[in-house]
Chain A
Amino acid sequence: AQRVTQPEKLLSVFKGAPVELKCNYSYSGSPELFWYVQYSRQRLQLLLRHISRESIKGFTADLNKGETSFHLKKPFAQEEDSAMYYCALAIYRDDKIIFGKGTRLHILP
């Protein structure tokens, strides 16, 4: 069964410290993974996708097929990073996306 697991509901990190939001997936096909973010009072939006191998707002995420993980990382947290983060797995047979339950990132001053 396809599944996305985000083990942390809440992650509190001091400003300037490194951030790692964990995501593990279960999927028999070739995975296409995303991170979506929702800032306070804003709509949910795409942060980055693994195929692009890009860094957005200082965040990166590497797909590790051996560990079936797609952890989101940033070396130095900023206060504006406080938000809800969702890891997502694309199911291309159906054009659907399966979302994890989300991790709320709280950056402490």
Chain B
Amino acid sequence: DVKVTQSSRYLVKRTGEKVFLECVQDMDHENMFWYRQDPGLGLRLIYFSYDVKMKEKGDIPEGYSVSREKKERFSLILESASTNQTSMYLCASSLRGITYNEQFFGPGTRLTVL
């Protein structure tokens, strides 16, 4: 059973703080993704990674960075949190190079920036 876990379910931070969101998957998936989920906007891709130390910008990378030092772990970093980054953040993973690849999602981290 694929398991994607995220370090926190709820997080409250102040404007200007550096924020780390951690995601771990236990199924040896090559691909990992970070999305933000906002009402009326759906899921928007922030960054994704095909392999260790590799990263690609998604649709809304501004204000975010990522780190993938180990295959199972993908971190999302907000260098200086702002109120417009208040959102639900979803991590996902999938196999690479397999057609019709399903993405498996974590439970989400609801981040509030005050």
Chain A interface residues toward B at CB < 8 A = 6, 9, 32, 34, 43-46, 49, 51-52, 86, 90, 92, 94-97, 99-102
Contact = CB atoms under 8 A, between A and B. Distances in A.
Interface stretch (B11-19, B61-69, B71-79, B94-102): B94-102
Interface residues of B, number: 29
A46 B106 contact: no
B105 A49 contact: no
Given A9-B40, A90-B101, A92-B99, A43 B106 contact: yes
Given A9-B40, A44-B90, A86-B43, A97 B103 contact: yes
A92 B99 CA distance: 7
Contacts of B35: 99
Given A32-B99, A43-B105, A44-B105, A99 B42 contact: yes
26 contacts: A32-B99, A32-B100, A34-B102, A43-B4, A43-B106, A43-B107, A44-B43, A44-B92, A44-B105, A45-B105, A46-B102, A49-B102, A51-B100, A52-B100, A86-B43, A95-B50, A95-B96, A95-B97, A96-B58, A99-B35, A99-B42, A99-B43, A99-B44, A101-B40, A101-B41, A101-B42
A97 to B, nearest CB: 6
B104 to A, nearest CB: 8
B113 interface: no
A43 B108 contact: yes
B25 interface: no
A101 B38 CA distance: 9
Contacts of B99: 32, 92
A92 B58 CA distance: 15
Nearest to A101: B42
